[in-house]
Structure 1
Amino acid sequence: MSIDRRLRETGTFKKSHYDTGRPRTIRTPEAEERVLQRFEEDDTLSTRRIAFAENMPHSLVWRIAREQQLHPYHTTKVQELLAEDLPKRLQFCNWMSEKVRVDAMFAKRILFTDECCFTKNGIFNLRNSHHWNDENPNATVVRHSQYKIKINLWAGIIGNKLLGPIELPLNVNGENYLHFLNNDFVEVLEDLDLETRRNMWLMQDGAPPHYSRQVRRHLNNIFANRWIGRGWDAPQPWPPRSPDLTPLDFFVWGYAKSKVYEIPIEDEDHLRQRITDTFNEIKTNEEVLNKLPFHFLKRVRACIRANGDHFQHMLK
């Protein structure tokens, strides 16, 4: 377009000495210092905002940042911790570390358990969803619906073996959770060999149904001195607000949801099928499952180094 305009206006293809195009930004030490100062004052600023504020090309800001070994690190979501949580987390991890020191296989004999809800909408990452076409297809995805679907699942993992999932009532209380322990849970344990069942520890978090008196009494009868959970009579207390220490939370649920919701869910049957297919896939992934006990102990050691505080930055 510029060549056509120049030909019509001047009758020649040659640029005149006045036709200099966009003014070139000259990089100076002062401009570089201003960019670095903005990063230092607020390291959450985007390169585009800095470029706009300094009236310079975005590419120049990027070049300055890269030359100074600055990288755009992502923020990690973590569970809020209270001050009183830290010593409890540290106590648990020290206990676990000592158990493993005495018996290197101890962590592989813990049956970690947890519950999680799956819905129709779930998590759908629009950033990773594209439609390549020569024209905009104006594709849409349903995010809200009057027809609600919600499935509450229990799962467990011991060593490199994933158990479940088993559907629980949407509103779990002490009574129906105890019913689950006496029925479905017993059937699940049949998938384990007798030696494993005799020596396993059961872990459950501090959810209210787990804390009911009847549930604690049942666990003391079945897993005498071999369960981890909430309550003064638990052989080993589970630290509150610690999903970063259980394989169900730091791997299984997140990975399962990322696979289930790779495509939009059509209805309840479709959601159940996606869950079944995903768990079957995880159960056959021996390479990943074999690493989970190692990653659990890695987190335990990191938690000790962090004195019970957040430790995600120590895992890399």
Structure 2
Amino acid sequence: MPTQPPVRIGARGSKLSLAQAGQMQRQIAQALGADPGDGAEVARVAPLTVITTTGDRVQDRRLLEIGGKGLFTKEIEDALLEGRIDCAVHSLKDMPSVLPQGLCIAAIPEREDPRDAFLSRGAERLEDLTHGAVLGTASLRRQAQSLFRRPDLQVQLLRGNVDTRLAKLDAGEADAIILAYAGLKRLGLGHLPMSLIDPKQAPPAPGQGALAIETRAADRDLSWVLALRHEATMVAVAAERGALTALEGSCRTPIGAHAWFEGAALHLIIEALSPDGRQRFRHAGEQDVTRMADPAASAHDLGMSLGQAIKGEAGDAIVL
């Protein structure tokens, strides 16, 4: 039976966020010595607090118009800093590159599939959509990448949770939408995509498919935190977030990054595009980070160097 104080978890209230938080809640409870199959015991040792963020409340505008992706984390981070919760579960792709002082991403569990999923009312791929078809998305990256491949498409703002976006697709408000495959899988909807987008051809958002466990900096090496870390995932996303940092990534900059291991070699492809999709800047690199004293730091440096190379080439072309 666990003897330490409960670990209080904070998360957003969407269906996807609760699915992700529930998965982490069971893993945290197990790390604390509880039976992950005993719901009552899990709720006692790792209670979940639902926190509504500004990003959840405002659904009629792009995030860049109301303050960026940090609006999905601010209220939760306030609760962490005030001591009302002990950790937060986020989608890593929603995390800004710079965190509030005193907080850190303490653990990243094993990553789910990072690819984007293409859903439509008939077409199997983006290339199969009719001329001038409507693509619904709130992601500037997905907009730019899609317009690079299909400049004839009409891109329409489509925000909301997964169920809302699927309902809008069914209602004919868009001919196709693009969602993170990881989120669909976590919701038991992995069968819905018509196809999956090659992450080397159109890299997903940095950190897509991974979850972030955010804690106060002083708690980053507690035993239950260490139990959640997946080393290969942490190294790969460190490379992707290095590119995000170099490119000052925000909702105003279309950035894609994909890192993966082939044996001991970490491979990284990053790209940034003009918002209208007319210009694309790409760099790729690889490194045997396993030989480094700090593999994650070396991976981050690789991402930084490739990102800086793109920034030098692209200038203001990639900023909305």
Is TM > 0.5 for Structure 1 vs Structure 2? Answer: no
| Between structures 1 and 2, the one with greater strand share | 2
Short-chain TM bin: under 0.3
TM-score, normalization: structure 1? 0.21
